Chains A and B, each alone.
Chain A
Amino acid sequence: MRANRREFTLGALTAIAAASGWSVAAKAADNKTIAVLFDGLYSEFWVAGLQIIRDDLKKRGFGIQEAISDKDDNKQFEQVRAAIAKKVDGIIIVQTDSNAVIPAIKAANKAKIPMVHFNRPPAKTDAFSVAIQADNQKIAREAVLYSCGVAKDSGKKHKAAILIGNLGDPNAIQRRDGFDEAVKQFPDNVEVVARIPTEWDADKAFAGLTNALQANPDISFVFTSSDFLLPQIIQSLKAANKWAPVGDEKHVILTGFDGFPSAYELMKDKYMDACGVQNLFFETTLAMQAILDLQAGKPVEKLLLDPGFAITQANIEAKKDEMWGYTLWKQKNG
């Protein structure tokens, strides 16, 4: 039963990718193998990302060599060396540390094996690799701009809290910057009174938001840098008697980021106003195309951006099919 469900998920994700118009060139792979090296499967985003990559590779006829490093940079370097020793045809990598991955890039360069960083770019280096990254700043800005518009329409000035991710994670910083760019455009409608560093830790997020609500009981605007913190936000808002849907006087304008299934559910139930969505399907296609182009000797930019999009209460019906979280939610709920 479980295997069937997984197969259904993979099929559904692929169908969405194909239906969305991103070309999935079914090129004959001639027994080529791609190493897919993740640092961990720490949220549904990464689980879904790995599934989509697996399915894409399978569809193209590539073999796949998977490894998880559990956030151990040395272990991941060994995994890269093992992949090089096996003469793989490309490496898709999600590293933990943007600097620690540089020796791995250099090793891949020396072996003339193309390396693509999935969703997380490396630090600046003279070694060559291609990074696929969501345009975090733009996506966050678009989502928060919608919510700022909602704040403006309410005719009130809202006090805002932002849950910031790990300060050492470029994605978290770009999302924070996108938030800041948006709220700066609405100085009369949104005032940021709490900046909560979560270190991507659920416990710190819960405590931080609870404390912020203690200091500012009138907070009515919350942005989370990742949807995986939504359960803690719900708990904090419930404890503060502020958990209410759009239209209710107690409603807190809530904006998420990532596009998790839980985010879709909250959008559907009108508890969340907007969510910045990373387009996992597009990012996978970009990664595969980059490897194919590099193998063919074509020039490829070092950074390829996924523009992503903001899903809002205004466009949810039109955009939900592009949201990976909706695909997973639909698979689970029928």
Chain B
Amino acid sequence: MKSGNRLALLGLQNAPLILFVVVLLTFGLMSDRFLAIANFRNIVIQAAPIGILAIGMTFVLLTAQIDLSIGATMYLTASVLALAFTGLPWPVALLLVTVLAAVVGAINGLIVTVLGVASFITTLSTLFVLRGVAMWMSETRTLPFPDRITDLNRAGVLGIPSAILAFAAIFALAWVVLHQTAFGRQIYAVGEDAEAARKAGIPAKRITFACFVICALCAGVGGFVTVTQIGAVGPKYGDQVEFAAVAAAVLGGVSLFGGRGSVAGTVFGAILIKTVQNGLNIVNADPYIYPLVTGSIIFLAVAVDGLRTRILDTLNRRTIRPLQAN
């Protein structure tokens, strides 16, 4: 490979990182407050909920499926938490919420793997059902959380905020599962080619089912972290958050077609999205510019990712030279 091509490829492979540096420099030049340590802490705290959701979404995307119901799962579990569990010690409440979320994930997983319904349709249906149940339960009222829950937002260990701790714990767990276990390798195999994986003896349906449960579990935990931050849930809670989670995963290099990506990339994607939003807030940008800037950066990252994939495919393609006549 020529050195120029190698440089271009290196650039494309690290495009999200380059984009991140450009974002940092741009906002850093516009406001000295942006590059403050306290602001980075802020960004990671704000990225924690969407990052946790996106980690769960990564598992499902890696198997070439999608879960559109995570926002509704968040809303349902948060509503149940507000209505029934706030009197319990928070670890117990969190446990119950994650169990409920896992049940939702199991239902999605069963419909997809046993009935063979496309995940897009399955989770779109559960989105409406779960949101409807949550609205019925809450009578569409805003449900406030008591201080014992919201104070968790300001709690931490050794000065590290609880949201960052939760984010780090979920990331570490997901990284170990995906990269250090046979189960993780099987997920990639199923996403790459489910039929080939099945022929190789991998229980593809069971793997896919487990990924839906993991995704819903992350939605439960991510929802819990969110309510500690925002203090109340209303009928719009979790609305369209699935798109942000998918965007974070794709920004981090996870393929929508399965089999490619990592949770480290997803975490990076979530932080990049929140960095852009934070930067716009910090420089007091014109409110009309927000969607333009955020959308452009996501589009750019995804376009570069597509270009990188195409170039890599081209470079890796084996060429067979025709025999030349003497």
Taking Cβ atoms with an 8 Å cutoff, the residues of A that contact B are 40-44, 46-47, 164, 167, 193-197, 200-208, 210-212, 214-215, 228, 231-232, 234-235, 238-239, 262
Contacts and interface: CB of A to CB of B under 8 A. Distances in A.
Nearest to A203: B230
A316 to B, nearest CB: 21
A238 B153 CA distance: 10
Contacts of A40: 235
A104 B140 CA distance: 26
Nearest to B41: A214
B122 to A, nearest CB: 19
B235 A203 contact: no
A200 B287 contact: no
Contacts, number: 104
Given A203-B226, A210-B42, A211-B281, A47 B140 contact: yes
Contacts of B288: 167, 197
A164 B235 contact: no
A232 B236 contact: no
A132 to B, nearest CB: 21
B86 interface: no
Contact of A208 (B150, B237, B281): B281
A211 B42 contact: yes
Sorted nearest first, the 7 A-B pairs with minimum C-beta distance are A211-B281, A231-B232, A197-B287, A231-B231, A41-B140, A215-B282, A235-B231
B226 A207 contact: no
- Which residue among B38, B230, B284 has the maximum number of chain A CB atoms within 10 Å of its CB? B230
Contact of B46 (A197, A210, A234, A238): A210
Nearest to B39: A214
Given A202-B237, A210-B42, A228-B142, A164 B287 contact: yes
Contacts of A208: 277, 281
Contacts of B38: 214
B281 A196 contact: yes
Interface in B236-280: 236-237, 239, 241, 274, 277-278
Q: How large is the interface on B (under 10, 10 to 19, 20 to 34, 35 or more residues)?
A: 35 or more
B13 interface: no
A44 B141 contact: yes
Contacts of B274: 207
A291 to B, nearest CB: 25
Given A203-B229, A215-B281, A235-B229, 13 more contacts: A41-B140, A201-B236, A202-B234, A206-B230, A207-B46, A207-B281, A210-B46, A211-B281, A214-B282, A231-B230, A232-B231, A235-B150, A238-B154
Contacts of A232: 230-232
B33 interface: yes
Contact of A206 (B144, B229, B282): B229
B309 interface: no
B139 A47 contact: yes
A261 to B, nearest CB: 9
Contacts of B139: 47
B26 interface: no
A207 B277 CA distance: 9
Contacts of A205: 230
Contacts of A44: 141-142
Contacts of A197: 287-288, 290
B34 to A, nearest CB: 8
B31 interface: yes
A234 B142 CA distance: 15
- Which residue among B46, B141, B236 has the maximum number of chain A CB atoms within 10 Å of its CB? B236
Contacts of B232: 202, 231-232
A200 B154 contact: no
Contacts of B142: 43-44, 228, 231, 262
B70 to A, nearest CB: 14
Interface string B152-164: 0110000000000
Contacts of B220: none
B135 interface: yes
Contacts of A212: 281-282, 284
19 contacts: A42-B236, A46-B140, A167-B287, A193-B284, A197-B288, A202-B236, A204-B277, A207-B277, A207-B278, A211-B278, A214-B39, A215-B33, A228-B234, A231-B142, A235-B150, A235-B231, A238-B150, A239-B153, A262-B142
